[in-house]
């Protein structure tokens, strides 16, 4: 489909799906945009085709479509490989020729992206991450060495690029796409994006791309009313118009529309070597009444609110990706309690590899926004997540959605208590330790690593000048230490989705707003995380253990190098039988205020029969608790 150059580049075949069109011509630079010179011919299945000898690589073109209504419209090619730089809207005859150098990365991709592998993702909007000296966008090639150096320094395993599919309105951040096969021209040609991905891979960094099959904009040159009928979208606005964004919803009952989207997804993975897709707005696809009031939506043929066509499409998408691109992953941004999002299709699930844990994000940010004096009354906000943590393969996101549209920056969400800006940064260090310590993969939006103070603005670049201030530079150093610790310690990632990998040490000390938990690997050193969510120092604080042993401090968020006050906590904890009472063993310490402490403890042996039995028991308890919480 689209424009495909013949061998030697002298001429191109054009194909476009428009079953209800009366006539279609290719208009372009070579024929002075004259619709009479290069007509296409109707073939089977509603596809129009033709060969244009004068078409050459780099030439602009569109389709002149006389629709079923008799009206002529000039449309961009839905399958174009490249588009004219916005705000211009023509398509460009192009190819995908590129000499890749990432074979080593691809050979190990499946291993690096397995549920048992470390994964921490840096979410990036390329147009506003960093700009040139005159405020201009950096090209895909120009941004590559800067982005790679930054990501490697912070220990992230992946970057997630907000949508790069061509989009007419820059302020949509790419979430309203017209070119599902063309990377946006704002930052260069397709081969330049390939070079960026290639360079990231050669630096050991994976690439995830945001992809949007939920809706598309109503720009006249795009998919809307493509052949004079509602071809890609539903005709009935109760199914076809998205009320939140005034966009159009794909008609997934049409197999050609499903094929269009499946082909787009596979192209990004196969041709551009992208390692995974994060599918946007999945919840809006699953529910027919999403964001609609009574009378504004149509039930399915069974009378329910589930979008049966979307469910089948998402299952087919995930099955196709896993079959055609082994090792690639698919992540769902799904904000409801839809069951089995990350379960296998064969088991009744949707087939995604991971699901964003939006509940954790909302609970956590609400908790950190509270004055520490009142946190004791809301302790459940930081413990409830473990009641359902193993119901899906979760990813913990602190994404761009939390720092736009008047929500303020992440650091501004932190309660200052009585400590002002320093307390906000202490809370942010504490938040990141809590996030990196919990089971689940991690995602952090750009700018949050150094506490961007202003709300994110896509029309500029990040406030990199803040790194001249010690506290902001210290926070970024803290994020880097957490990122590298995550990769170095199997306890922090290997059993992310296995109940045996997590155990509370202190869970119900709400009066002092503290938590302590253990992370264990299949085999190796156990990690202890202790969190004090108050500005109080708790002296002789007791942490229980099941066995005696020595625990060595690896990190303290209050160290001066991270912007803290220098209350580092003890270098060692000795767990012994001295506590007496009901505790098998315990260690005591003075717990610094608003501080996270991370200790490395004794090594554990590989799974044995007792451990496997314990895992099954814990999983059953977690499932029962989750069902009880949902019912309640």
Exposed/middle/buried for 71, CB within 10 Å: 0-12, 13-18, 19+?
A: exposed
CB-side neighbour CA atoms (13 Å) of 239: 19
CA separation (Å) from 457 to 102, 135, 446, 598?
A: 33, 13, 12, 34
The 3-state secondary structure of 376-442 reads HHHHHHHCHHHHCCCCCCEEEEECHHHHCCCCCCHHHHCCCCCCHHHHHHHHHHHHHHHHHHCCCEE
Cα 569 to Cα 565: distance, rounded to the nearest angstrom = 11
- The catalytically annotated residue of 123, 280, 496, 498 is 280
3-state secondary structure of 284: helix
Look at residues 516, 519, 515, 517 and name the one whose alpha carbon lies nearest to residue 495.
519
Exposed/middle/buried for 98, CB within 10 Å: 0-12, 13-18, 19+?
A: middle
Residues with Cβ within 8 Å of 123's Cβ and at least 6 positions away in sequence, in order, are 159, 160, 162, 399, 400, 443, 444, 445, 446
Look at residues 379, 284, 275, 261 and name the one whose alpha carbon lies nearest to residue 325.
275
**616 given a catalytic annotation:** no
CB-side neighbour CA atoms (13 Å) of 584: 6
DSSP assignments along 310-371, one per residue:
HHHHHHHHHHHHHHHSTT-EEEE---S--TTTTS-GGGTS---SEEE-HHHHHHHHHHHTS-
* Residue 250 · residue 302 · CB < 8 Å: no
* Residue 473 · residue 561 · CB < 8 Å: no
Cα 337 to Cα 287: distance, rounded to the nearest angstrom = 12
* Residue 156 · residue 206 · CB < 8 Å: no
Name the one residue in this structure whose structure tokens are 């590298």: 484
Element (H, E) at 124: strand 120-124
Please list, residue by residue across 424-439, b when 16 or more beta carbons sit within 10 angstroms of its beta carbon and e when fewer do: bbbbbbbbbbbbbbbb
Residues with Cβ within 8 Å of 218's Cβ and at least 6 positions away in sequence, in order, are 224, 246, 247, 248
**333 given a catalytic annotation:** yes
Output the CA angle 512-515-519, nearest 5 degrees.
Answer: 165
Rg (CA), the chain: 27
* Residue 214 · residue 261 · CB < 8 Å: no
Q: Could you tell me the two tokens for 103?
A: 């074979």
- The catalytically annotated residue of 210, 275, 309, 333 is 333
Q: What is the largest CA-CA distance in the chain?
A: 93
Look at residues 92, 13, 104 and name the one whose alpha carbon lies nearest to residue 51.
13
The residues that are catalytic are 280, 333
């Amino acid at each position: 489909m689209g424009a495909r150059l013949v061998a030697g580049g002298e001429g191109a075949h054009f194909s476009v799906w428009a079953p209800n069109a009366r006539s279609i011509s290719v208009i372009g630079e070579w024929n002075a945009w004259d619709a009479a010179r290069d007509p296409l011919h109707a073939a089977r299945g509603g596809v129009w085709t033709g060969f244009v000898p004068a078409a050459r690589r780099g030439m602009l073109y569109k389709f002149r479509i006389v629709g079923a209504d008799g009206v002529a419209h000039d449309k961009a090619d839905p399958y174009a490989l490249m588009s004219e730089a916005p705000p211009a809207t023509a398509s460009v005859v192009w190819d995908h020729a590129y000499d890749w150098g990432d074979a080593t990365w691809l050979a190990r991709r499946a291993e690096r992206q397995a549920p048992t592998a470390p994964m921490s993702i840096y979410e990036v909007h390329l147009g506003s991450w960093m700009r040139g000296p005159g405020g201009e966008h950096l090209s895909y090639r120009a941004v590559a060495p800067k982005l790679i150096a930054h990501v490697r320094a912070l220990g992230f395993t992946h970057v997630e690029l907000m949508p790069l599919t061509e989009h007419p309105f820059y302020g949509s951040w790419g979430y309203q796409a017209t070119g599902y096969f063309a990377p946006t021209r704002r930052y260069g040609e397709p081969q330049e994006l390939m070079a960026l991905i290639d360079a990231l891979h050669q630096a050991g960094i994976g690439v995830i791309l945001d992809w949007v099959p939920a809706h598309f904009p109503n720009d006249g040159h795009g998919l809307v009313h493509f052949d004079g009928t509602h071809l890609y979208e539903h005709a009935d606005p109760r199914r076809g118009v998205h009320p939140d964004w005034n966009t159009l919803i794909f008609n997934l009952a049409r197999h050609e529309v499903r094929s269009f989207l499946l082909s787009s997804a596979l192209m990004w993975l196969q041709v551009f070597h992208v390692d995974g897709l994060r599918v946007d707005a999945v919840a809006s696809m699953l529910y027919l009444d999403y964001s609609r009031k009574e009378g504004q939506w149509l039930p399915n043929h069974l009378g329910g609110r589930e979008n049966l066509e979307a469910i089948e499409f998402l299952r087919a998408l995930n099955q196709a990706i896993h079959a055609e691109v082994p090792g690639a992953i698919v992540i769902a941004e799904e904000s409801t309690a839809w069951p089995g999002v990350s379960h296998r299709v064969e088991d009744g699930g949707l087939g995604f590899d991971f699901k964003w844990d939006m509940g954790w994000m909302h609970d956590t940010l609400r908790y950190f926004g509270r004055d520490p004096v009142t946190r004791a009354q809301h302790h459940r906000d930081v413990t409830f997540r473990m009641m359902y943590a193993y119901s899906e393969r979760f990813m913990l996101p602190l994404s761009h959605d939390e720092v736009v549209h008047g929500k303020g920056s992440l650091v501004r969400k932190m309660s200052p208590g009585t400590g002002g800006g320093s307390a906000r940064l202490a809370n942010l260090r504490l938040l990141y330790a809590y996030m990196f310590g919990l089971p689940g993969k991690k995602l952090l939006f750009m700018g949050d690593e150094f506490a961007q103070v202003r709300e994110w603005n896509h029309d500029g670049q990040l406030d990199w000048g803040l790194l001249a201030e010690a506290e902001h530079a210290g926070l970024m150093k803290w994020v880097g230490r957490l990122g590298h610790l995550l990769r170095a310690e199997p306890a922090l990632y290997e059993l992310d989705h296995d109940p045996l990998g997590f155990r509370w040490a202190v869970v119900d000390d709400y009066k002092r707003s503290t938590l302590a938990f253990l992370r264990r690997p299949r085999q190796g050193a156990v990690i202890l995380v202790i969190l004090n969510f108050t500005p109080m120092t708790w002296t002789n604080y007791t942490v229980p253990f099941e066995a005696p042993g020595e625990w060595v401090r690896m990190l303290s968020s209050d160290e001066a190098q991270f912007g803290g006050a220098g209350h580092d906590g003890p270098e060692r904890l000795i767990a012994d039988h001295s506590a007496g009472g009901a505790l098998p063993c315990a260690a005591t310490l003075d717990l610094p205020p608003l501080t996270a402490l991370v200790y490395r403890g004794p090594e554990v042996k590989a799974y044995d029969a007792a451990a496997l039995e314990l895992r099954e028991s814990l999983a059953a308890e977690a499932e029962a608790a989750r069902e009880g919480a949902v019912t309640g």
